[in-house]
């Protein structure tokens, strides 16, 4: 029987995951948690992870929103936990995926990527696939990821957590650049961002170049983490 641990960002997603798995007797849920705010619920989340290490599931189903928040706060600690789960296969749940982010997550140990709009029908098959040691990619993602891997085959592209200096530099970007950065954090492509903001692709590329130069991020993954950290800090400031 395959032991599963489920980590979601909201109750609805958790319910949909459990519903998609409940008819299969080959699966056993060893633990499940909803983490709405990683920073605010850090101790509870860490306690859950430590218990999960003791039980050592076969597969961890992890909401990308939780993963992004954890990476934005402390990439080093996140990678320490990933290493402790080195024998575990990860399935990431998300609304959208950018191929660069997928490749970075695959390097960190993720083996499945399920889009939430196909969650109920895809979750059980994805678990079976990654349990066999294979990779599950949602429809339309495979070609994009393979193409990006070919382009980057000669490069090493480590991802770093955002720094305090970068957060300060973020204040120098324009309102439009901040809008573009927010959509990057939602894994939209340049073409999709252009359509959403009624801009040309060339203008979006210019905004992206300016964001990279002003903040010092090196790729879209680091840009997404920087915006997530910035948004978290604003929320925490408003609460206090």
The CATH superfamily assigned to 2-151 is: Response regulator (3.40.50.2300)
What is the C-alpha separation between 230 and 225, in angstroms, rounded?
9
Q: If you compute the radius of gyration of the chain from its CA atoms, what whole number of angstroms results? A: 18
Give me the pLDDT at residue 142, please: 65
Angle, vertex CA 118, rays to CA 29 and CA 187, nearest 5: 100
Give me the pLDDT at residue 154, please: 45
Per-block mean pLDDT, blocks of 10 residues, the chain (240 long): 96 95 88 95 96 95 94 89 91 87 82 92 93 83 65 56 89 94 88 93 94 91 88 73
> What are the backbone angles phi and psi of residue 110, rounded to the nearest 5°?
-70, 140
- The architecture that CATH gives domain 164-239 is Orthogonal Bundle (1.10)
Give me the pLDDT at residue 188, please: 86
Tokens 């927010």 belong to residue:
182
Domain boundaries, the chain: 2-151, 164-239
Give me the pLDDT at residue 151, please: 61
């Amino acid at each position: 029987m395959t032991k599963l641990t489920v980590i979601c960002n909201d109750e609805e997603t958790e319910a949909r995951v459990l519903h998609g798995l409940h008819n299969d007797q080959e699966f056993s849920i060893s633990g499940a948690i909803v983490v709405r705010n990683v920073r605010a619920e850090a101790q509870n989340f860490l306690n859950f992870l430590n218990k999960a290490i003791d039980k050592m599931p076969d597969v961890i189903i992890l909401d990308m929103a939780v993963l992004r928040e954890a990476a934005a706060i402390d990439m080093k600690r996140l990678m320490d936990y990933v290493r402790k789960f080195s024998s575990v296969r990860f399935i990431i749940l998300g609304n959208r995926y950018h191929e660069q982010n997928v490749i970075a997550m695959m390097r960190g140990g993720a083996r499945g990527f399920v889009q939430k709009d196909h969650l109920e029908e895809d979750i059980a098959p994805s678990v079976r696939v990654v349990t066999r040691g294979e990779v599950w990619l949602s429809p339309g993602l495979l070609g994009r990821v393979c193409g990006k891997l070919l382009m980057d085959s000669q490069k090493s592209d480590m991802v770093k957590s955002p720094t305090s200096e970068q957060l300060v530099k973020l204040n120098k970007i324009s309102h439009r650049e901040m809008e573009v950065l927010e959509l990057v954090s939602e894994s939209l492509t340049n073409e999709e961002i252009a359509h959403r903001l009624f801009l040309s692709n060339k203008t979006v590329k210019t905004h992206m170049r300016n964001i990279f130069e002003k903040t010092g991020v090196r790729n879209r993954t680091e840009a997404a983490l920087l915006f997530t950290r910035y948004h978290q800090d604003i929320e925490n400031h408003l609460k206090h």
